[in-house]
Structure 1
Amino acid sequence: MTTIGFDADDTLWHNERFFRMTQDRFADLLRDYCEADHLMERLLEAEKRNISHYGFGIKGFVLSMIETALDVTGDRVPGPVIRALVDAGQEMLQHPIELLPHAQEAVEAIADTHRVLLITKGDLLDQERKLAQSGLGELFDGVEIVSAKTQPVYEEIFARHGDGAHWGMMIGNSMKSDVVPMVQAGGWGVHVPHGLEWEIERADPPHDAPRFVQLQDLGGLRAQIDRIEQSGD
């Protein structure tokens, strides 16, 4: 194994909890127009529709909230509610970065022996901001901010930065984006669950795949890599 990729949001630092906090505020703002459960269903539908237009990230999330607010109010949503949603998005873009347990130690330990990549989805400016604030930027040999994480994307990235996906590993909290497509590309997919999972990122674990690994947290990553390399697989 020569090249190892890390996801960013909810793998190295907290992210989803800020979306959940904003969703709670969204439900409170629209409580006179729609029940919270139904509102979240409508928001999720809007997010699914809009990913192909806006991509992943806070800006698309805010636009989906505004669209949902217009839909559930019959285009009568008050201006102050729209303003509050815009303000909430700006607050999300300013949240300080908080690393997850073992994140820095895990990247540092692997950077001494392997080529290390950051491979993440989302808004370019926001992801660059978070990486800069994380203090981890100098540890990565390459940074890829992509619109989607698919088998061809991993094949191309690991070929360009390393020796191909077969000699690579991808680590992340999303089964759908970080693990399954990397395993399909012939590499190792390591799932490190975060606890908060976005509905859109759910997928069945590839339990029958020999190169699928699940860890409780990043603290066990270095030992897992050593076991794999000692086995010669």
Structure 2
Amino acid sequence: MHDRDSGRDDRGIRLVGFDADDTLWRSQDYFDAAQLEFERIVGRYVDLQDARAHERLYAIEARNIALFGYGVKGMVLSMIEAAVEITGERISASDLHRIVGLGKDLLQHPVELLPGIREAVETIAGQFDVVLITKGDLFHQEAKVRQCGFASLFRRIEIVSEKDAATYARLFEEFALQPTQFLMVGNSLRSDIAPVLGLGGWGVHMPYHTTWVHETEAVLPADADLRMRRVEAAHALPAAVRELAEASLELTDERGP
């Protein structure tokens, strides 16, 4: 990591990471719309409530993460499996083809930045080195990064299969950082905030108005209130990062060199 200012104090936070989906640009809205269409397709065969279609699809998706990973392709494969199971194998080939089409539409959807996010990232990048850390399908994530228009702000772009404590610990080693020198910005408590706080880092949680249930399942450490801030919109990110950066310096001073 390079210094923005050769005289910069390297105590405290040195690197700020950003999540991508639903932090920089819209994503879950499109997945939600695809799930509604999936339920309309399956609803031609069964009563959705009686069949517990919503819950059964999520159970299959969660079970398949270890095999397919995250992203559109894994979701579509899980939808096909769920459709066959929920309908008792009665679903037609044409309707299975419609489900495949849902995935193709998702993969081709243009990137839509969240309001004010580019300006917020630019401001933070003027004060800290910034990296992008996202998970999902490699090709799809690479395409969205290319389309976003400000990928050049990030010192590094990491597309990983999972965002857990082991992944962040590996990245800290590669970045030559202590966890206490890293702050993560993201919408997911499970993937963006809890693992980093658990390792001793810092976090800014910017919830999105809709979140996949899988990403809400998280246990935060007891001192989360000290090392995490919550903001409602991108314009508040720079101030939250500065506040935590100051807190990290105070903590360093208390502990000593």
Give 1:205 shift. Answer: 6.1
> What secondary structure is seen at the aligned counterpart in 2 of 1:76?
coil
Q: Does the 8 Å contact 2:84/2:90 carry over to 1?
A: yes
Unaligned stretches of 5+ residues in structure 2: 1-12, 252-257
TM-score by length of 1: 0.95
**Structure 1 contact 142–161 (Cα < 8 Å) conserved:** no
- The alpha-carbon deviation at position 137 of structure 1 amounts to 1.0
Q: Which residue of 2 aligns with 1:227?
A: 243
1:179 pairs with 2:231: no
1:27 aligns with 2:43: no
Q: Distance in 1 between matches of 2:229 and 2:135?
A: 22
| Paired AA for residue 202 in structure 2 | W
Question: Which position in structure 2 is the counterpart of 1:8?
Answer: 20
TM-score w.r.t. structure 2 length? Answer: 0.87
State the Cα deviation string for residues 58-88 of structure 1 (Å, max 9, x = none). Answer: 0000000000111012222101101101111
Larger Rg: 2
Q: Percent identity?
A: 40
CA distance in 1 between partners of 2:202 and 2:145 (Å): 24
Indicate whether 1:212 and 2:246 are aligned: no
Q: Residues 1-233 of structure 1 correspond to what in structure 2 (within 5 A)?
A: 1-37=13-49, 38-204=52-218, 206=220, 208-209=223-224, 210-231=226-247, 232=249, 233=251
Deviations 1:135-185 (CA, angstroms, capped at 9, x unpaired) = 121111001111111112112213322522210001100011100000011
1:169–1:190 contact (8 Å) kept in structure 2: yes
SS of alignment partner, residue 33 of structure 1: coil
SS in 2 for 1:81: helix
Aligned residues: 233
Q: Secondary structure at the match of 1:67?
A: helix
Q: Indicate conservation of the 8 Å contact 1:3/1:162, yes or no.
A: no
Q: Aligned equivalents of 2:230 and 2:204: distance in 1? A: 6
Contact 2:57 2:79 in 1 (8 A): yes
Instruction: Please say if residues 80 and 96 of structure 2, whose CA atoms lie closer than 8 Å, have aligned partners that are also in contact.
Output: yes
CA contact (8 A) 1:152 1:185 kept: no
CA RMSD of aligned residues (A): 1.4
Query: Could you tell me which amino acid in structure 1 is paired with residue 186 of structure 2?
Result: G
What displacement does 1:223 show?
A: 1.2
Whole-angstrom distance in 1 between the partners of 2:41 and 2:139: 28
